Structure 1
């Protein structure tokens, strides 16, 4: 009985792994149809008629242009995922350009559906990610950090909270690849304190162990989205 149970658990684990990332393509390409033109809803995008596909469906211009960092965070993400480049549909990849003003921040966030790898083009960045709940309940979540310079590469594992901070006195630029056509982004402060409707006050005061007035103050702020 124990052996059968172990086999079932292993099989479930293997099945789970096969569905843990974007599905493998079953044809040469599947150019996405715009959501407002779709007649059905699927987990992803439905395909454009292959006879109507053109080179423009695989083309996106303009990543040579800097993003506008004139915002409270001093950073700007320019995404190129399946919503901007329909030819990425089913291919399991996307990319972004991120611009940082001096001391600009890409705040703690996660990508629920993709691992991210960045390469620094200009500037000096302090970057890091935090591990998920440790196996030992007496241990804290571990922080991995590094200071990066032009040409340096760093990877943020899928789903983990991570950030980038420009510690230099000049602008910084990175390009990043992500292992999903639509990796998603959850900015922690925005999601927790800026949700609509707001999360119940009792939940947040207990979770953060602070006075209700602190939570009310945070919920009253304008939480800026950089992408």
Structure 2
């Protein structure tokens, strides 16, 4: 399980995928209450990790504005699909992790200089695509992004502090309402007829159970 975040200094698809998977593993362990614990991943270890996230937040990467947790060295030659996968997805995970730690271990969070600024800048970055994936994978991307942010209680945090990041709150509300509406209308299908009903229902249930928020058509 990841102990410290650091982006790669060269393009290595396998290593970038492994880094993102490890970040997600930690977030899911936080959600399941497996981390922190008294043995192999203590609260101190978690503090070291979130400090590395704050320290590792990226500045401008070519055409990519500051505020991400891109795992690649830069965005040179990246198409939109790669940008979603290697810039936006790890950013959703990092923001969710910082949010969850703030909600559940506020003293650990507040010991890290710049924690809130990093979280808020990351939230703003998350809003830039409206949580959608690229092209015909727009719905797949939205399901993944909303689930990730929900595990981090980002919607819960923004529901109580809407002024913290209005663009991300708006994006979350829009995507969730759209999913609820399409489920009710029987139009939860993709461009090629893919059925996203189960995915929409699952992520809306995660949003409800983890954040206490219900969206209906």
Of structures 1 and 2, the larger Rg is shown by: 1
State the TM-score, normalizing by the size of structure 1: 0.22
Higher RCO (CA 8 Å, separation ≥ 6 residues): 1
Query: Which of the two has greater strand per residue?
Result: 1
Query: Which of the two has greater helix per residue?
Result: 2
